[in-house]
Structure 1
Amino acid sequence: MALLALLFWAYALVFVKASPVNNGDESLARILNTFQIMDDKDVINAISQALKEASASNDTCGACVGRLAIGKSLSLVRPDLVPATFEKWCNDNKYASKATCATNYHRNTLDASTTGSNFADMLQLMDPYGYDGQLYCHYKDNAACPKPKTPNVTMSHLWPEKQAKHMLAPSSNGSETFNVLHVSDFHIELDYTVGAEVNCSTSMCCTPHSINTKSNVSMNTSLGWNSFYEGSHYDDSNFSFVRGTKLSNPFHNVSIPAPSFGHYECDAPELLINSSLNNVIEFAKNKSLDFKFAIFTGDLVDHDEYTYTDYEMTVKSEQYIMRDMKSRLGDLPVFPVLGNHDTFPYGELAQEGYGFSNKFQWNADMLAEIYQDYGWLDGKQAQYARHHYTGFSVTTKEDLKIISLNSNAFYKKNHYCYWNATDPDSFGQWKFLIDELVESEKHDQRVWIITHIPPISDSLPLPSKIFGEIVERFSPSTIAGIFFGHTHLDQFNLLYAKDSKSIDNVINMAWIGQAVTPWVENNPSWRYYEVDSKTFSIMNSYNYYSKLNETFANDGKEPEWLFEYSARDVYNVSWPSTAPLNATYWHLVAEKIKSDVSYRQLYENLAKRWSPYVPDCSKGKNCQTDYCFLSTFIVDDYDKCVAPLNK
């Protein structure tokens, strides 16, 4: 009872802050008289009512902060009751849909990717009234609070002063090169079902549970599609294509049936993933192209509703894709990162050393073992990955250092990022990155950084600021390349010094790899880089894609994979043939996209790989934020750039 009394005294103080119109003494007396705690159900009902009252204010920010403070008080004495209490409040007050209330607040189980227990963990450690609460209420609670000012902190004390010799990138004539494969965002849909509903009302179509609840939707038998072969696959021994059995009536009970190789409203069937990997190998063989290694920039698991994203499916998705890459690519080293989908529950990752990281250790153990078994990492590197969120540092046979980071450490949907959020490095990843870069700088070793989420896409502001400062400090001499995935689009990001986006201030750039999954409304694609053997700068990239819509009416045959473009040639930039495609080159590309709608349209065509859903940049507000995305690296800079466009 003493602990519960403490809880309610804490709540009384919270309630006075959240609802200043109430008299504090009256509120306290009412609370203590009303809260006759008998069992767990009584606690849940009482705190749920308190959450309702705290939410009654017209001040959405104060209401959100008040709920967090009430939740924190409960979490300190009964964290096990936090999920049920918040889920009840959410449902009773219709704060969100029943599905969203369950996703956000239902306790963790193995059956669905619900995050209520992670929410409770966060509450125990966070400061609701400080930056933590403001940040959470802006990014995780429907922008209930304005975006708080990013703390003015730095990690510059961890690196030495930059010497004059590190102000320039190493030079080369680019005469000797090697090739590197880049694949990203497979998002395997394990339950992809040929003939399932494409025109669905749920977030993920082409599955057994995809339904169409739209009114007056009739079956569209006039499409002319005929690619409905169940059981099509690639033979395990020689990877030859085996067409399955054609469905006799694919339009039965659906308006638009899912074709064999996938659809634009669905994630990738394993058949499409293996088609892409087979094409990589076939292309390399036909062109006598020797890849030295591959990078994979994350996301193995699909985008299905959290109800259907269970632990077993997450594990299988990760294992299947790693297995498929190994079986197709053979002895080619693959250096991977994990995406925001590659964890359970979705998007969650806890810092080591604060009591909750054991919830996610299974994933690091499993993947580090796979990386070692497949020969991608040695024993020491795999052991490091086990205890650093699957991140690692490896030096290739070519003497290039590759540093892999887990971007869930700065992902804005990860609950564990919202406690002690003014700490620039609660996960320890930035110190790891800085230490590796300092060591490489001493030895004039060039470095590639690979991670999943581009900072301006889904990062929190402070981590993106720190990331930008690190890149600025170690560019252009040490950092030779930065590679992301996540957006599913073929894109790039530029980092500038100061506020001026001029050619004199451009610092470095990042490549964003396009996805194999067609979700949402993109053609599947992959690329490879031509890399300078001396400087490890990118001399060119070559992109390949498949017109997925052409597989809808090809009677179940394999997709045709086509050359799409060369980055050096496509934008018609005057550029020396011996110079790498560095940040200066991409600055010139960005300026074309900014000033000329025809180049903006070209960018969009390439971003979505000429899919039927490419926007028309000449109409309305289409494509207006493209330049902001391409010309910024830090969240605050992007927000500042797009603010006038959103008015």
Structure 2
Amino acid sequence: MKKTLFILVLCTFSIIGVYSSIQQDRILEAVRNGVVKLLTADRAPNYLTKAVKNISKIKDTLESDETICQSCQVVVHQVLTYRRNGANKDSMKTYFNKLCKIFTGWGNTACHGYIDIEIDPVLYMMDNKNDLTPERVCAIYFQAQKCVDPDAKKWIIPLPPPPKKNEEIEEDDDDDQIGPLRILHLTDIHYDPLYKPGSNAVCKDPLCCQSGVPSKPGNAAGYWGDYNVCDMPRHSVLNLLNHIKEKYIKDIDFIYYTGDIISHKSWASSKSENTKTIKEIYGLFASIFPNTTIYPILGNHEPHPTDFYSPEDVLQNQISTQWIFNLSVTEWSRWLPESTQDTILKGGYYSVLIKPGFRIIAINSNFCFTSNLWLMYEDEDPRDQLAWLVEELYKAEKNKERVHILSHIPPGEILCHKQWSNQFHKIINRFAHIISAQFNGHTHIDELKVFLDEDDESDTDKVINVAFNGASFTTFVGFNPNFKIYEVDPSSAMVLDYDQYIFNLTKANQNTTPPQWYKQYSFKNAYNLHDMSLPSFEDLLEKMSKDDDLMWQYYRFLVRDSDVKIKEGCNSKCLKKLLCYITAVETNESVNC
């Protein structure tokens, strides 16, 4: 969610408008001259400011993408040149601050904060990655604009041959479980210890509701949360957990927590504060749900700096993010067996056999997130995770196990590194017959990701796998809080149905009495499905492609009937894009949506 150091410098170009080639050349020339001028000027020259302000209204996608990529390369080239010509740390910080202010529009507080936090790892990458080029940086961070690095390596994760027909798993109807398993899915709490009801909810920083006097009553932070750029206060988190304890926990078999505990105040994070908050939330989980096993994974906000997951060979304590894996081993030991510790320490991922025939594989997909600047340094299967995933799935296949995959970044996320996304897609295709479901977070929306059989030559799209997003407890930005409870077949581990629970933030903030949680929908009932088998998802996709009313319902659920989002609406073009995203399970597919 947060823009990191180079992205801060470059992000304005993601809203570049259409203009003639002459205008394009003028803008590029202004950027080229302006970023050089900024080296010695106290403030941006007028022509650079004017060029930035005149960039507006994209219409021709190809031309705008080309301009984004060229502009990005101009800026990164100057940044790299300045450092390689001998600029010291203080000079680089000063330069980054000037660039941040002109290209992001953020104030001193956020710009200085991000740069102070990220300067050391960024300089390490620049100094130790000899083949770091503008093309590499821009191809990674503006992959949605189809920027190209001609020297990019298309690395491959080897896959074992598929099983023979007689080796495939057969359904076992003799499971001792009476009734379906019930799994609680929580995600993206984004607890803000500094949240202050009544403070300014409409501020200039990337996160509000912490301080300041609102300019009018309507801008005051709500008691239970806020639709503006705000996260969640402690009393709201306690309400969520205690409500679940009182109403549902006795029927819950276990809990999936798919990441993001830390707030979006990423420009002021620290190891000590992140550690304190992580311990506090896991401590609440353990005390409020003392008899329920929780299977947690890391979000992109847990490390410091936010989004940064360093390579295994980066050992300097000042910049390594090994500390978050060390912390996770300790905190997760409440629920996970000792056998998971080696891989958690290696990269925050693990595999657990829940019972004979049913395995959970939890991965750290944050390694693919393009806001993780360490991808500039090393992008080839960070910490050997995908190779390990193949090994675990292959063993599960041989042992005739069904698998749930937990992952923070969902398949097809447009900011997931395209080569990682491509290889993950191939892994899911290979092992789809044993992967009963996937569970994600991160995007804060209640979305589906449906994998289609790439080898099927029929006219009908054959569904082979489904990923469910838990949406978010945080309201960031403009959503109602939620949680989900799944019913899962104990034999096949397939999802039979799920219920989504929400409360309306507008109504809740009318007073300080506890919010009125209610069931927004049951998936089977809402979509009038006989079951949630893969063929049923094929039928659902077919209906969605022909029925805007059905897609409007999908949008309502996606935003959890948020007053703000419902008012914004979603026209036919928007609905078609949402439908496209459902089957876009690889980054390149999402870009094309």
In the superposition, the TM-score normalised over structure 1's length comes to: 0.73
Shift of 1:629: 1.2
Q: Which secondary structure state, in structure 2, belongs to the residue aligned with residue 96 of structure 1?
A: helix
Counting only pairs closer than 5 Å after superposition, residues 127-526 of structure 1 correspond to structure 2 as 127-129=131-133, 132-136=136-140, 138-139=142-143, 145=147, 153-156=155-158, 158-165=159-166, 170=171, 176-208=179-211, 210=212, 219-220=216-217, 255-265=218-228, 266-284=230-248, 289-304=250-265, 306-355=266-315, 359-372=320-333, 374=334, 376-388=335-347, 390-397=348-355, 399-421=357-379, 423=380, 425-457=381-413, 458-476=415-433, 478-498=434-454, 503-526=460-483
C-alpha separation in 1, matches of 2:259 and 2:90: 30
> Secondary structure of the equivalent of 1:181?
strand
The match for 2:56 is none
Deviation of 1:303 (Å): 1.5
Separation (CA, whole Å) in 2 of partners of 1:148 and 1:283: 56
Indicate the residue corresponding to 2:537 in structure 1. 586
Residue 260 of structure 1 deviates from its aligned partner by 2.4
Query: Does the residue aligned with 1:434 lie in a helix, a strand or coil?
Result: helix
- State how 1:533-572 maps to structure 2 within 5 Å: 533-553=490-510, 555-572=511-528
Stretch of structure 1 that moved more, 406-415 or 118-127: 118-127
Asked if structure 2 preserves the Cα contact closer than 8 Å seen for 1:503 and 1:584, the reply is no
**How big is each residue's C-alpha offset from its partner over 1:555-585, in whole Å with a ceiling of 9 and x where there is no partner?**
3211121122211111113x25xxxx24433
Offset of residue 484 of structure 1: 0.4
- Name whichever structure is richer in helix by fraction: 2
**Distance (Å, rounded) in 2 between the aligned partners of 1:630 and 1:538:** 18
- Measured at CA, do residues 455 and 149 of structure 1 come closer, stay the same or move farther in structure 2, by a change above 3 Å? farther
Report how far residue 102 of structure 1 moved. Answer: 8.3
Aligned residues of 2:187 and 2:473 also touching (Cα < 8 A)? yes
Contact 1:194 1:258 in 2 (8 A): yes
- SS of aligned partner of 1:529: strand
Kept in 1, the 8 Å contact 2:473–2:481? The answer is: yes
For residues 99 and 205 of structure 1, the distance between their equivalents in structure 2, rounded to whole angstroms, comes to 13
Question: Is 1:527–2:490 an aligned residue pair?
Answer: no
Q: Describe the SS at the equivalent of 2:189.
A: coil
Aligned to 1:35: none
SS at match of 1:335: strand
Displacement, 1:462? 0.8
For 1:360 and 1:129, the matched residues in 2 are separated by: 24
Counting matched residue pairs gives: 529
Q: CA deviation at 1:98?
A: 7.1
Cα pair distance change 1:166/1:86, threshold 3 Å: farther
Give the 3-state SS of the residue equivalent to 1:543 in structure 2: strand
- Cα pair 2:169 2:400 within 8 Å, conserved: no
CA deviations 1:601-625 (Å, max 9, x no partner) are: 1111111221212346564644341
Could you tell me which amino acid in structure 1 is paired with residue 131 of structure 2? D
Distance, in Å, in 2 between the alignment partners of 1:106 and 1:279 is 37
d(CA) in 2 for partners of 1:258, 1:59: 39
Structure 1 counterpart of 2:575, one-letter code: C
Find the aligned partners of 2:430 and 2:146 in 1 and give their Cα distance: 36
Retained in 1: the 8 A contact 2:110–2:206? no
- 1:8 corresponds to: none
Residues 172 and 611 from structure 1, CA distance in 2 versus in 1: closer, same or farther, beyond 3 angstroms?
A: farther
Q: In the alignment, which residue of structure 1 is the partner of 2:7?
A: none
Change (3 A) 1:153 1:582: farther
Q: What is the CA-CA distance between 1:292 and the residue it aligns to?
A: 1.8
Q: Distance in 2 between matches of 1:154 and 1:502?
A: 30
Equivalent pair of 1:138/1:147 in contact (CA under 8 Å): no
Residue 190 of structure 2 contacts residue 264 of structure 2 at CA under 8 Å; is this kept in 1? yes
CA drift of 1:128 comes to 3.6
Indicate how the Cα distance of structure 1 residues 488 and 533 shifts in structure 2: closer, same or farther if over 3 A, else same: same
Cα distance in structure 2, aligned partners of 1:164 and 1:453 = 32
Tell me, yes or no, if structure 1 residue 630 matches structure 2 residue 582: yes
1:603 corresponds to 2:563 = no
Distance 2:40 2:476 in 1: 41
How much identity, in percent, do the aligned residues show?
22
Is residue 103–residue 116 contact of structure 1 (8 Å, CA) maintained in 2?
A: no
TM-score with structure 2 length normalisation?
A: 0.79
Alignment correspondent of 1:120: 123
The alpha carbon displacement at 1:104 in A equals: 7.4
State the distance in 2 between where 1:343 and 1:444 align: 36
Partner of 2:563: 612
Q: Taking structure 1 as reference, are residues 94 and 487 closer, same or farther at Cα in structure 2, changes over 3 Å only?
A: closer
Distance in 2 between residues matched to 1:74 and 1:399, nearest whole Å: 57
Gaps of 5+ in 1: 1-43, 221-254, 643-647
Give yes or no for contact 2:188–2:473 (8 Å, CA) kept in 1: yes
Change (3 A) 1:529 1:494: same
Rounded to whole Å, the distance in 2 between the matches of 1:429 and 1:564 is: 37
CA contact (8 A) 2:393 2:431 kept: yes
* Residue 321 of structure 1, CA deviation: 1.3
Task: Give the RMSD, CA atoms, in angstroms.
Answer: 3.6
Q: Retained in 1: the 8 A contact 2:548–2:572?
A: no
Deviation at 1:474, TM superposition (A): 0.4
Distance, in Å, in 1 between the alignment partners of 2:366 and 2:324 is 13
* 1:135 positional shift: 1.4
Native 8 Å contact 2:410 2:440 kept in 1:
yes
Distance 1:87 1:442, change over 3 A: farther
* C-alpha separation in 2, matches of 1:137 and 1:315: 28
Query: How much has 1:151 moved relative to structure 2?
Result: 5.9
Q: Distance in 2 between matches of 1:567 and 1:181?
A: 15
| Corresponding residue of 1:240 | none
TM-fit CA distance, 1:203: 2.9
